[in-house]
Structure 1
Amino acid sequence: MAVATLRSVLRCEILLPLFETCRLRDLLCFSSSVDAAAAVCGTASPDPHFMVEYLVNSCGFSPSEAAKFSKPLAHLRSTEKPDAVVNFMRSQGFDGAGIRKVISLRPIYLCCNVEKNLAPKFQFLRDLGLSESDIVDAILKNNAILRHDLHRSFVPKLEMWESLLGSRELVLKHLKKTGRFFFCSVENTLHPNLKFLRDECGIPEERVSLFLRSDPRFISRKPTSFRALVARADELGIPRQSRMFVWTLDVLHKVSKERFEAKIELMRSFGWSESEFSSAVGKAPTFLSMSLDMVRKKMEFFINVVGCTPSFIASQPNLLIFSLQKRVIPRFRVTEMLKLKGLWTRRCKFVWILCFSDTKFMEKFVLPHKEHAPELLDILRDAGTCKGNDTFHLASEDEEGLS
């Protein structure tokens, strides 16, 4: 009897707290439900799709775009925060297209606290010396500025890139013009890649740093992807100690394997061997970045019009870098006109004339013949390379052939 009584007491002592806990939980849940319902009734639109309408009416998205970008915002019960963010961005120089781009990249930006999150970052960028338009460009290129902590993330990376590139001005220049490099992980990406280039590839840090000043993006690839990039350059037979090795890595970083293979097939159709292709890449890797159509047009012009052999072009691949419309064709027409008028007294081959600076070409082949062949200036003006008082527009790289 005593044992049964003890068991009954223990059972009550155990079950009573559980009962009270469950009761308390039910009361809390009920209270929360009531509060939530009251909040909805008080501040939210009765339409569950009010954020879709907001993105259409306030930001200019299409209905289908708004439906897509409103999904991460489904928890919002009013447009108070989105209104504040949109109005703030407009006040900072963003136009409608810029605001839509930022929202489309990360809709949750519409939930930011303007005073605590956004305003200090804009002020910090102004303090660095960036203008309003500079800040807009920087954020459109690196929207992560809006979500990363200012002091724990942005400032340390600014200091790291400043030491790597050599100056803060250069970092800010790339921040305005270059995307997807500034916020890559220092510990997991930058340090491993730099160490790999230095220790395993034998490339001095000074050379890497010098290259990064012109393009910091390729070093921000994940280490496994970066090693695969180096392997592709190795397959071309380009020595790692060559000064063109890093340039080749940068070009391969921008060119997919599919486009690379298509370029090989194109050059093979002109008679290039694999060794000629590899040699050409090692001397002028930039031609890999050009569209297939532009490379084809240049090869056909040099072979069919100028009279170069494919092997000669492979040995002098810089010929493919020059702009066809602004340098190659105009200069060819000038030399042909000089020959026609009997004014060609030099034995310099046309392909070497392409390497002359604009000023030197004008001084040696155009200005001395202004009286007897005034049409030479017309040829250059028609190409858009000669402007005003016989000044010459630099067109050493193909401006219409990159893709």
Structure 2
Amino acid sequence: MAAARLRTGLRRNSLLPLFETCRLRDLHFFSSSAGSAAAVGGTISPDPHFMVEYLVNSCGFSPSEAAMFSKPLAHLRSTEKPDSVLNFMRSQGFDGAAIRKVISMKPNYLCFNVETNLAPKFQFLRYLGLSESDIVDVILMNHAILLLNVHRSFGPKLEIWESLLGSRELVLKHLRKTGRFFFSSVEKTLHPNLKFLRDECGIPEERLSLVLRSHPQLILQKPESLRALVARADELGTPRLSRMFVWTLVVLQMLSKETFEAKAELMRSFGWSESEFSSVVRKVPTFLCMSLDMMRRKMEFFINVVGYTPSFIASQPTILLYSLQKRVIPRFHVTEMLKSKGLWTGQGKFTTIIVFSDTKFMEKFVLPHKENVPELLDILRAAGTCKGNDTFHLASEDEKGLS
């Protein structure tokens, strides 16, 4: 089912009733929410620079900002349209700061016709289920929506994203939080990128859809940029059919080549070979998401304190993904204290202990000894991972995960 949706790209009929409702009620919406704006006659001035003063007095821009943003408005000789736009935006919940942000992104919005250009977009967003504050957030993150025709562009983009992400709720979530979400062209960007990843790279549609739910920006980039990204992943030796391939693309998109090389150089300084570094990236690409400082601290701890060799760490790279302060260090101190008191032989591998669930770690290493060795709980409390006597709080990782 998901594959069929992704192949077609658009579910053409799902929003048609909504479109028709919007068409029928555009005039009513405008007259009820922006009628006062339309009635404003505006001020007429022969001075071609009068918009500078207008932007200062009406929007709160500084004189230097107003001078810059007034250039695309130099043709205006009346404030009728700007007055109408500003009144409409205020009626839709935009405060002064939000209005300044929108106008600074594209001053020509002040030349728009409220009834034909702006009101239909706001009405459509309302019909999608967004609140007034949600709509403000959406516009601030994706102001290009104001440039789109509701029926010819906005609707089709909404439909293709709904088919890709699997639900309208996810689409609306990204609209509120993801900048430039609706900037990319369906014909020039989205469809070519999807076809390339699916047909040339061989990425299954279900896997691609799963990744796009959390990282839609992967297909928002220019097709040539995506191809360059795939070439970088190929250089690392990541098989295109591997489940990690698409995650590698997501990670590499976040990193400049300079940052990537700085991280590679850091790991070389610890003794990793080029092949070891590439192997780790192929296995756990999210390893590259941590900062240089965190990479250094984790490697130093595992080498200098735990006693692992760099090559061993490269063979067990998942240990680098866990929180150093909230998981690795306190668990190491717990096991070392048990060994010092003769309560644990140390036969279990620490690499395995790191990945134990919190419950299993508590049951195996802490709770059986909490009466005789209360210090164990103190270690966990100091790390901020233990609350009360028997509850082990799930620690968040030092870096953001991708799944």
TM range (shorter): 0.7 to 0.9
Q: Residues 46 and 393 (structure 1 numbering): CA distance in 2 closer, same or farther, change over 3 Å? A: farther
Q: CA deviation at 1:57?
A: 4.4
Q: Relative to structure 2, which stretch is displaced further, 389-398 or 298-307?
A: 389-398
1:206 aligns with 2:206: yes
Aligned to 2:189: 189
1:280 aligns with 2:309: no
State the percentage of identical aligned residues. 82
Q: CA deviation at 1:119?
A: 2.7
**Within 5 Å, which residues of 2 pair with 1:345-384?**
347-384=347-384
Equivalents in 2 of 1:145, 1:94: separation in Å? 16
Say which SS state the counterpart of residue 216 (structure 2) adopts: coil
Tell me the alpha carbon deviations over residues 315-349 of structure 1, each in whole angstroms, 9 at most, x when there is no partner: 22222222223332333333334444544456323
Q: CA deviation at 1:187?
A: 1.7
The amino acid of 2:326's aligned partner reads K
Say which SS state the counterpart of residue 348 (structure 2) adopts: coil
Q: Relative to structure 2, which stretch is displaced further, 55-64 or 140-149?
A: 55-64
The amino acid of 2:204's aligned partner reads P
Tell me the alpha carbon deviations over residues 200-248 of structure 1, each in whole angstroms, 9 at most, x when there is no partner: 2222222212221221111122222211111111111111111100110
Q: Relative to structure 2, which stretch is displaced further, 324-333 or 335-344?
A: 335-344
Equivalents in 2 of 1:394, 1:70: separation in Å? 53
Equivalents in 1 of 2:394, 2:115: separation in Å? 47
The amino acid of 2:289's aligned partner reads S
Q: Relative to structure 2, which stretch is displaced further, 368-377 or 294-303?
A: 368-377
Equivalents in 1 of 2:316, 2:164: separation in Å? 34
Aligned to 1:139: 139
**Within 5 Å, which residues of 2 pair with 1:123-134?**
123-134=123-134
**Within 5 Å, which residues of 2 pair with 1:98-117?**
98-117=98-117
Kept in 2: contact 1:112–1:118 (CA 8 A) = yes
Aligned to 1:85: 85
- TM-score with structure 2 setting the length: 0.80
Kept in 2: contact 1:323–1:400 (CA 8 A) = no
Equivalents in 2 of 1:243, 1:184: separation in Å? 26
Q: Relative to structure 2, which stretch is displaced further, 310-319 or 260-269?
A: 310-319
Equivalents in 2 of 1:79, 1:357: separation in Å? 64
Q: CA deviation at 1:374?
A: 3.8
Equivalents in 2 of 1:346, 1:252: separation in Å? 39
1:238 aligns with 2:233: no
Q: Relative to structure 2, which stretch is displaced further, 44-53 or 157-166?
A: 44-53
Say which SS state the counterpart of residue 354 (structure 1) adopts: helix
The amino acid of 2:232's aligned partner reads R
Aligned to 1:150: 150
The amino acid of 1:282's aligned partner reads R
Q: Residues 340 and 196 (structure 1 numbering): CA distance in 2 closer, same or farther, change over 3 Å? A: same
Equivalents in 2 of 1:388, 1:287: separation in Å? 32
- Alignment gaps of 5+ in structure 2: 1-41
Aligned to 2:263: 263
**Within 5 Å, which residues of 2 pair with 1:46-61?**
49-61=49-61
Equivalents in 2 of 1:140, 1:288: separation in Å? 31
Q: CA deviation at 1:369?
A: 3.6
Structure number with greater CO (CA < 8 Å, separation at least 6) is 2
Q: Residues 58 and 389 (structure 1 numbering): CA distance in 2 closer, same or farther, change over 3 Å? A: farther
Equivalents in 2 of 1:180, 1:55: separation in Å? 26
- Alignment gaps of 5+ in structure 1: 1-41
Kept in 2: contact 1:321–1:396 (CA 8 A) = no
Equivalents in 2 of 1:354, 1:81: separation in Å? 63
**Within 5 Å, which residues of 2 pair with 1:167-182?**
167-182=167-182
Equivalents in 1 of 2:212, 2:335: separation in Å? 39
The amino acid of 2:153's aligned partner reads S
Q: Relative to structure 2, which stretch is displaced further, 180-189 or 253-262?
A: 180-189
Q: Aligned-residue CA RMSD in angstroms?
A: 2.8
Equivalents in 2 of 1:390, 1:46: separation in Å? 78
Aligned to 2:397: 397
Equivalents in 1 of 2:145, 2:153: separation in Å? 9
Say which SS state the counterpart of residue 214 (structure 2) adopts: coil
Kept in 2: contact 1:326–1:385 (CA 8 A) = yes
Equivalents in 2 of 1:384, 1:82: separation in Å? 54
Kept in 2: contact 1:290–1:401 (CA 8 A) = no
1:296 aligns with 2:296: yes
